[in-house]
Amino acid sequence: MNDSECIFCKIAAGEIPATKILDENQVIAFMDIGPIIKGHVLVIPRDHYPDIISVPPDVLSALIVSARRVAAAQVKALNADGVNIIQNNGRSAGQLVPHFHIHVIPRFNDDGYHFNWNPGKYSSPEEMEKTAASIRSAL
């Protein structure tokens, strides 16, 4: 299941170059060409799924286990102090490549990078409860 227009499908098929660090049955991992921090890795399914909702649970399990392996390797080999696991779905969430991928980003105490994470607020406890009830009803 591949999309001939998809850059990550092409990487998975070996049609365009990538610096791979894992090449398994269901999962591939390679260096992000535009690292947030040097050592930034992308973990992707070999098959084309656009986002987390479309990835079958068994493939998703393999992906997160591989992401965990990569994170442990970054800590061991690069002496990372921490690791960010980030996964974007949809343009509104910052997803540029519509082939599911997990960002595994090594972090260092002195790397100087800051996410633009500004906590917001509900106008009332009722607003939060109403939003929660809506999500709950769709699970």
Which of 2, 3, 6, 7 forms a contact with ligand AMP (CB under 6 A)? 7
Closest CB to Zn ion among residues 6, 22: 6
Which of 85, 88, 107, 111 forms a contact with ligand AMP (CB under 6 A)? 88
Q: In 3-state terms, what secondary structure has residue 123?
A: coil
- Listing from the earlier edge strand, what are the strands of the sheet with 41-45? 20-23, 27-31, 41-45, 102-107, 82-86
Is there a catalytic annotation at residue 101?
A: yes
Which of 53, 96, 138, 139 forms a contact with ligand AMP (CB under 6 A)? 96
- Which amino acid appears at position 14 of this protein? G
Does 85 engage in binding with ligand AMP (CB under 6 A)? no
